[in-house]
Amino acid sequence: MSSESIRYLIVPGWQGSPAEHWQSHWQASLPNGERVEQADWQVPLCQDWVATLEQAVAASTAPVILIAHSLGCITVAHWAAQAPLASLRRVRGALLVAPADVERPACPEPLRNFAPIPRHLLPFPSQVVSSDNDPAISAPRALELARDWGAEAGILAGAGHINVKSGHQRWEQGFAYLYRLQRLLEQGALRRA
């Protein structure tokens, strides 16, 4: 699977990903990188965010890899639970970074309409990357979601929410997770051939 044949859909979380966020850098550096632009980044409505993600996936003429962060990961889980089969078939895999636990007691009010978090297997290969000191999710909870979603999991030490505030502007080391996901997809394609 060459990267030129893939559309990388960047799925930001609450308040979007500013220019210095790793998702913005990845969007600029990955071939065929495109951001899912939500109408309202400040007051997210689950139904609207899922519909916007569906529009972006359905519009793609190339296979898609989703690259989500925080609330974007939860959006992907909701979308996968209700997406049309034709759209699900377009998605080859998902990199889910620092999923936000919208069920935690300290969850900000604007995010609570994304609860409960869908807990079924995702219908495509996925990888969850989180941190052992993320204020938006505990490491055990991230591992639990990864298990429920059927995703591989990686827990980073001291990486916070893996965003600008925690010092992850370009997050070059994150590409290793994307490349690993792509290798898994290529191996799966070879086994089916």
pLDDT in tens, 65-109: 999 999 999 999 999 999 999 999 999 999 999 999 999 999 999
What is the pairing mode between strands 33-35 and 91-97?
Answer: unpaired
pLDDT over 60 (residue 4): no
Q: What DSSP state is assigned to residue 102? A: T
pLDDT over 90 (residue 52): yes
Q: How many residues would you count in the chain?
A: 193
pLDDT over 80 (residue 139): yes
Domain range annotation of the chain = 3-192
Which residues 6+ apart lie within 8 Å of 163 measured at CB? 21, 22, 69, 70, 98
CATH of domain 3-192: 3.40.50.1820
pTM of model > 0.85: yes
The three state secondary structure string of 1-43 is: CCHHHCEEEEECCCCCCCCCCHHHHHHHHCCCEEECCCCCCCC
Bigger pLDDT: 26 vs 187: 26
**Contact present, 3 and 29 (Cβ < 8 Å):** no
Lowest mean per-residue pLDDT among 97-111, 136-150, 170-184: 170-184
Question: Helices 46-59 and 71-82 sit at what angle, rounded to 10 degrees?
Answer: 70
pLDDT in tens, 57-66: 999 999 999 9
